[in-house]
Amino acid sequence: MTHARVDTPTPGSPAEVTDRQFAGVELSRPDPAPDAGPRDEALYDLVEARFRAVVADDPPQATYLGIHAWDDRLDDPSRDRALADIERDRRHLTAVEAIDPAELSAAARFERDLELHHVALSLYRSDVIRTWERRSTGVSDLGDALFPLFTRDFAPLSDRLASIAGRLEAAPAYLTAHRSRAAQPQVRSWLQIEINAAMNLPAFLDEIVAAGEAPPPGIVVGDAELRRLRRAVDAAKPAIFEHVDWVSTHLDDEADDWALGPERYAELLRLRAFDGLDADAILEIGWEQLERNHAARRAAAAELEPGAPLPAVLDRVKEDHPPTFEGALEAYRTAMRRARAHLIEHDLVGVPDDERVEVIATPTYLRGVLPFAAYFQPARWDPAPVGVYVVTPAVENHPGALREHYYASISNTSIHEAYPGHHLQLAIATRHPSLTRAQVNAPEFEEGWGMYSEQMMREEGFDDGPAFRIALATDAIWRAARIVLDIRMHRGELSMDEATAFLVEQTGFEEPNAFAEVRRYTYTPTYNLSYLLGKVLLLGLRDEERRRLGDGFSLRAFHDTLLWNGSLPISFQRRALRGEGRPAPPA
């Protein structure tokens, strides 16, 4: 793509990488093993070379990681670049496979297996599934490139606004290049997501300008910087609307064929390393969990209001919510602080003194695909990393939106998203020295840990009243429904409308929220089944460790070891718990 300053080296080129040197970031690798093998360092050299190439070619990803050498740049989103990345990963996979495991230490063998898993899975998605060819995400990706610069305080506001201006100056060329990916028919429902993002992104740009015009007390943004930012925003907006026009020309003519089909779906499940579980076995887990959690919710409702009809009890629980969205945000903050204190008081897991998380409203451009809440992890190499926990006020301004932010649900969601869920897990995972683990994000562990945390905290006495157990069961019903829908939708057994009706029936969600959920399932196959499946697998792993260790089992040690190991597939977590890799966190 063409950058705003064309006289600088292309991001990712040897000159650029040498010139900026990753903004002084020193990349890490595991310490030498006691049983060091002759090819350990060769493996880590290969991993680091690929990591450097990936990060230098993707400045927004570098920013998310806390590598700020290219904060004023965008990536090359063209079709040619995507194909080049596929070829790069094929070569890398061949090179890693060529290293004889017998010449590696036990820890390096573990890292080799993990690198092969990660890259093979990535290649299958990019080279076989090829969602990138059939889903335009130019505007969404542009918003994602600005989000960490605006929401994270790693540098003075004026510097971050200058980087935002640099990225916006490149936006017209970026969006043009992004359209070159569309070599296959575009999926109609995915195009609508891009249109919604494009219609909402200008408001986010205005919010950024407003922050520069009225900075917090003691913060100064110069007139020249503001003028540049305004010019960049004024030039980006027409490019965004031009992109909408391009997307709209494809909206009526293209197909809505998003299902993977049974064969490709089965192969994707195999590559996910689910301990050999196939689609039918996972679907059976989904149906069983759906039935179990409906029963648990009925029991909690009967405890709360004996003899009352279930719908009436659920309605009254949902009516117990903050009166305003600002009140809801504060309630989320309060719930997560209480959960953090409970973890420390009951010695359930180590909590670093320097971790931070902020709760904010979901940016407008993301609300159509994040109908409730989500979490963005701390930047690994930022000097003072901060996690960002976003909460969505409403989808399509639906009047009943606050009912989804009822107090019992706020407690459960804050466990899942913050303590000891995503925020704590990812804040600890970023401290592991492995560059492979910096890139692996197995959702059956990340999302499974979030759901496991919900149950574990109730087991350990946090917010364990019947209203909270109703919320716990309701969220589990939602995730059990996800298992059923993920599999049945991508095997071609359910349409989006049928899936939305099923989700409303099972969960009681407002229809716009349910539809936004279902639409996301169409382009994230096997991700959404990972939540409850991961919880089931983690509970099974905990039982295994209790049997294996007997009186030597410690819940705190079990949790600490899992979190230190990073966001690994649970099959890899089992290996690590039993001594492979670097098995325990530092003392």
Q: Is the pLDDT of residue 3 over 90?
A: no
Domain end call among 258, 287, 307:
258
Question: Do 366 and 333 sit in the same domain of this protein?
Answer: yes
Alpha helices in 460-577 (DSSP H): 466-490, 496-507, 511-522, 530-549, 555-565, 570-577
Other CB atoms within 10 A of residue 203 CB: 11
Contact 562, 449 (CB under 8 A): yes
User: Please, is 505 exposed, middle or buried when counting C-beta atoms within 10 Å of its C-beta (0-12, 13-18, 19+)?
Assistant: exposed
Question: Do 94 and 140 sit in the same domain of this protein?
Answer: no
Treating both helix axes as pointing N-terminal to C-terminal, what angle do 511-522 and 496-507 enclose, rounded to 10 degrees?
130
- Kindly list the strands in the beta sheet with 357-361, ordered across the sheet, starting from the edge strand earlier in the chain: 357-361, 387-391, 373-376
Question: Do 236 and 95 sit in the same domain of this protein?
Answer: no
Average pLDDT over residues 8-19: 39
- 483-532 pLDDT, tens per residue? 999 999 999 999 999 999 999 999 888 788 789 889 989 999 999 999 99
Structural domain contains residue 1:
no
Cis peptide before 512 (omega within 30 of 0): no
Structural domain contains residue 584:
no
Question: Do 330 and 470 sit in the same domain of this protein?
Answer: yes
The pLDDT value recorded for residue 21 is: 66
- Boundaries of domain holding 87: 7-129
Report how far apart, in Å, the C-alpha atoms of 356 and of each of 40, 218, 384, 504 are. Answer: 35, 22, 8, 35
Structural domain contains residue 582:
no
The pLDDT value recorded for residue 401 is: 67
Structural domain contains residue 583:
no
| Segment holding 391, helix H or strand E | strand 387-391
The pLDDT value recorded for residue 19 is: 39
pTM over 0.75: yes
- Give the strand pairing for 357-361 and 373-376: unpaired
Contact 585, 350 (CB under 8 A): yes
Long-range Cβ contact pairs of 523-526 (< 8 A, separation 24 or more): 523/131, 523/135, 523/187, 523/190, 523/258, 525/129, 525/260, 525/265, 525/268, 525/486, 525/490, 526/265, 526/268, 526/269, 526/272, 526/486, 526/490
Contact 420, 387 (CB under 8 A): no
- 370 band by pLDDT with thresholds 50, 70 and 90: low
Question: Do 112 and 156 sit in the same domain of this protein?
Answer: no
Structural domain contains residue 104:
yes
Residue type, 253: D
- 239-250 pLDDT, tens per residue? 999 999 999 888
Q: Is the pLDDT of residue 216 over 80?
A: yes
Question: Do 112 and 169 sit in the same domain of this protein?
Answer: no
Q: What is the DSSP letter of 184?
A: S
Domain end call among 129, 154, 172:
129
User: Please, is 279 exposed, middle or buried when counting C-beta atoms within 10 Å of its C-beta (0-12, 13-18, 19+)?
Assistant: buried
HEC letters along 320-389: CCCCCHHHHHHHHHHHHHHHHHHHHHCCCCCCCCCCCEEEEECCHHHCCCCCCEEEECCCCCCCCCCEEE
| Segment holding 454, helix H or strand E | helix 443-459
Sign of CA dihedral 166, 169, 175, 177: negative
Contact 525, 265 (CB under 8 A): yes
- Cα distance between residue 578 and residue 378, in whole Å: 28
Domain end call among 107, 129, 151:
129
Question: Do 142 and 277 sit in the same domain of this protein?
Answer: no
Question: Do 53 and 149 sit in the same domain of this protein?
Answer: no
Q: Total domain count for the chain?
A: 3
Q: Which residues is 389 bridged to in the sheet? A: 359, 375
- 149-202 pLDDT, tens per residue? 998 889 999 999 999 999 999 999 999 999 999 988 889 889 988 998 899 899
The pLDDT value recorded for residue 400 is: 64
Question: Do 292 and 425 sit in the same domain of this protein?
Answer: yes
Contact 439, 118 (CB under 8 A): yes
Question: Do 123 and 139 sit in the same domain of this protein?
Answer: no
The pLDDT value recorded for residue 404 is: 80
Q: Is the pLDDT of residue 6 over 50?
A: no
- Cα distance between residue 516 and residue 363, in whole Å: 15
HEC letters along 234-245: HHHHHHHHHHHH
Question: Do 116 and 147 sit in the same domain of this protein?
Answer: no
Structural domain contains residue 587:
no
**Token digits for 381?**
């190499």
- Cα distance between residue 429 and residue 439, in whole Å: 11
| Segment holding 390, helix H or strand E | strand 387-391
Question: Do 115 and 245 sit in the same domain of this protein?
Answer: no
Q: Which residues is 361 bridged to in the sheet? A: 391
Structural domain contains residue 219:
yes
**What are the residues whose beta carbons fall under 8 Å from the beta carbon of 315, sequence distance 6 or more?**
none
Residue type, 59: P
| Stretch among 330-334, 391-395, 582-586 having the lowest mean pLDDT | 582-586
- 40-85 pLDDT, tens per residue? 999 999 999 999 999 999 999 999 999 999 999 999 999 999 999 9
Structural domain contains residue 586:
no
